[in-house]
A and B are shown apart, each in its own frame.
Chain A
């Protein structure tokens, strides 16, 4: 009895081992076939851009039959990327946004390849590309830009004889007028904490430049005593009162549905929302448009927030530096094709946006009347951004400016 038991157990173990052996064999077999092709892993976090990249990858692989680009897209990609950095399993090529804490941290730990001297860097708009400068060198290349403005419902604007505003006073007058006419002037999805900053960073971005943030991060500025911060907060509250009644209970998806369904006149949103809204409303392109957010009464001073949407970094430790660089170079060369398919602004010079809705923001983007997302300059980076949003959501609830500024001051000082 006992013997047969051991026999059974050992044969089971043997079987398992044999199965392992088989697997290894087949794996090495398929490797041998592809021996001449180099595989480059492209870790791509932007789910909407997968098809676009697939088209470009196909073209690239046709031109370079010895290179295979493996596009890897997973849900919650940025978190997965962070995990892969912590475990040392770093993809050859991945998306990185400039200036952010994550980027700086990766640069300072020598994870990213220095690409300052590559030829394709000269093709990129220096205004944007310079955001990648860290310790005097660049470790990333900008391909496309997002942009953040005011989406508006043309039907509602036309039926109330309203033109798109260029100044703050015109802007607030429109809200007044629309409300008097019984329309919902503004849709907001403030239940999602990230929506709060898409709105209010417009003011922060316009008021403060990179130099300010440098002094700010040094602790030279106290938010609670800064008039500009107070003024920005007042402007936030002034706009907030025109949002639909339950804006704190509306989330991003519900907000999109309401706006695409024509329930409100304006919506503060970045260009990334356009594919979603087009899916919800087939007539979106005819009925909706963009105009830049008018923060002040001087149209020349107003800016559109525009950050790098797709920016590429190469791992310092990659086994295939040449192949990866070749692919990045190819993407920068094909920026017009990318922009056409992706419907986004390009960071590459000479590329024009083809999207009829997005064109409303072109005057600002083409004149370089743009500002980076301010949170990219904050000492706490992504973390400070998340805290900032939560405090802002609180503020939209209690509407107490002193409390808000005090919260922000203690939050920011914890990161300095």
Chain B
């Protein structure tokens, strides 16, 4: 291909980029930029005018007990949910790639939570926490479980974690299964000949070879859980009191209940930057652990 032809072809390709770029600018880049501006105003969401206040919204957040409370809840929740859902998903995936009876049926069953809508999950688990768990609690005589976990200041956190892990694991299982199937059989065979036991095989062979899957799963799960909103709205509404108010719920409340659009946007941007930082740390750490055969 001569240079001229290449140039005109690449011009053609550039043309095809335009519609995408246009859509991206209108629906993504412009809103983000206007949000950056809005976060530096005191707009209440209704007034026709607003003042530019610089970084004071960000400074307010640093000392706002409610924001700090939401942040610490979100961090704990995201960390616990991410770790638990990944451990559970990996264990289930390990079992489901083995040649066991009813393998496909089990795969379908374990994937089931992922296809349920959040609203349905909310209803199901409301009933489970209200009826089933207190019943079990009475049977096994554990006082803490005899009332609805969602109404209990200390247990509401764990109730949310249970529901989150239950649903989030389903997708992760699929990713882990795909990762596990890429590990070639012969590596295991030679390891077996060298006398490596099951656990040793898992830690020395399986785990290093599926690090790309682990990276994806941790980042996806962490991002999803740092932005948790739907589970909380469906189950506790942020209560009891402020016990389960996440940062995203706080953003919504600030904007639509408290008429503090400017401040709410500032909090949203802080969450945005925070998620980017966490993701970069995760990627750079896990990338180093990856190995190639």
Residues of A whose CB lies within 8 Å of any CB of B are: 2, 5-6, 79, 82-83, 85-86, 101-102, 105-106, 109-111, 190-193, 245-251, 254, 380-383, 386, 390-391, 393-394, 397-398
Contact = CB atoms under 8 A, between A and B. Distances in A.
A85 B134 CA distance: 45
Given A86-B261, A105-B47, 10 more contacts: A82-B46, A82-B256, A102-B46, A109-B47, A111-B46, A191-B236, A246-B134, A249-B149, A383-B258, A391-B241
18 contacts: A82-B45, A83-B256, A102-B46, A105-B47, A105-B259, A191-B151, A193-B239, A246-B147, A251-B126, A251-B130, A381-B259, A382-B258, A383-B258, A390-B239, A394-B241, A397-B152, A397-B153, A397-B241
Contacts, number: 97
B151 A86 contact: no
Give chain B's interface residue range (CB within 8 Å of chain A): 20 to 34
Contact of A248 (B8, B9, B151): B151
A193 B237 contact: yes
Interface of B: 8-9, 12, 44-48, 126, 129-130, 134, 146-153, 236-242, 253, 256-261
Nearest to B253: A386
Contacts of B12: 2, 5-6
User: A5, A190, A251, A380 — which one has the most chain B CB atoms within 10 A of its CB?
Assistant: A251
Contact of A249 (B46, B129, B257): B129
A391 to B, nearest CB: 7
A82 B257 CA distance: 9
B147 A245 contact: yes
B160 to A, nearest CB: 14
Nearest to B254: A383
A102 B239 CA distance: 24
A254 B241 contact: no
B76 to A, nearest CB: 19
Nearest to B256: A79
A363 B150 CA distance: 39
Contacts of A381: 259
Among B12, B134, B151, the most chain A Cβ lie within 10 Å of the Cβ of B151
A250 B130 contact: yes
Contacts of A391: 241
A250 B45 contact: no
Chain B CB within 10 Å — which of A111, A192, A193, A245 has the most? A193
Contact of A191 (B47, B150, B253, B256): B150
Contacts of B236: 191
Given A191-B150, A248-B152, A393 B259 contact: no
Contacts of B129: 249
A248 B149 CA distance: 9
B46 A250 contact: no
A1 to B, nearest CB: 11
Contact of B151 (A110, A249, A386, A398): A249
Nearest to A193: B239
Nearest to B240: A393
Nearest to B123: A253
A289 B126 CA distance: 29
A79 B151 CA distance: 26
Contacts of B147: 245-246, 248-249
7 cross-chain pairs, A with B, having the tightest CB-CB distances, nearest first: A249-B148, A394-B241, A249-B151, A248-B151, A383-B258, A246-B147, A191-B151
Given A383-B257, A383-B258, A386-B253, A254 B130 contact: yes
